[in-house]
Amino acid sequence: MQDLIRQLLAELGEDPSREGLVDTPKRVEKAFKFLTSGYDADIDRVLNNALFTVDYSEMVIVKDIDFYSLCEHHLLPFFGKCHVAYIPSTRVIGLSKIPRLVDVFARRLQVQERLTNQIADMIRDKIAPLGVAVVMEATHLCMSMRGVEKQNSFAVTSAMHGAFRDKARTRMEFLELIKLRSAVPGMREPAGYACVGEE
């Protein structure tokens, strides 16, 4: 990878051997390995048996989870907040494991729409809740640094399953609790792709 990064620096018109860039290939390789470490993650090891049988059927919410990911179209960061809710049927996930699940999928080359679905689908698969909801809001540097150059825009995506999809009252309770109801009215319209089709 370091040889490729040296080639990239040269293609950009830089001198990879100058003092400020000598160690850049090593640093970039280390950074990219960390930022894409989700590919190597074992979900079961991440959860570490933190799935518990409980007699509880009310909404569980972990909100304002910071996440950082890389847009697969431009390899530029997108980052923001993730809000996760589920209604247990028989099992719950240890609360600290939900941010870890978010990190597993965020630390891959992504689009926000797929990232949102992957988190919701994994929770649904692992504990079979009565419903699961994930809302993500993010700033995309591929929109603010380049392209349309809209620095104040952000994208909101959602995945709603079970009770959150079927029961408007449950969905609206979740949105009220995360204070995003006005930003995502009704959750009916799919979010637009942030950078699909851009050159």
Backbone CA torsion sign across 144, 148, 149, 152: negative
List 82, 110, 142, 195, catalytic entry = 142
Specify whether 195 is catalytic.
Answer: no
List 73, 82, 118, 137, catalytic entry = 73
List 82, 110, 112, 195, catalytic entry = 112
Specify whether 71 is catalytic.
Answer: yes
List 82, 113, 118, 140, catalytic entry = 140
Q: Strands 109-110 and 77-87, how do they pair?
A: unpaired
Report helix, strand or coil for 73: coil
* H or E element, residue 70: strand 60-71
What span, in angstroms and rounded, lies between the C-alpha atoms of 140 and 151?
9
Specify whether 189 is catalytic.
Answer: no
Report helix, strand or coil for 192: coil
Specify whether 73 is catalytic.
Answer: yes
Specify whether 161 is catalytic.
Answer: no
- Please, are residues 80 and 139 in contact by the beta-carbon 8 Å criterion? yes
* H or E element, residue 33: helix 24-35
List 71, 113, 118, 161, catalytic entry = 71
List 74, 110, 118, 195, catalytic entry = 74
Residues labelled catalytic: 71-74, 112, 140, 142
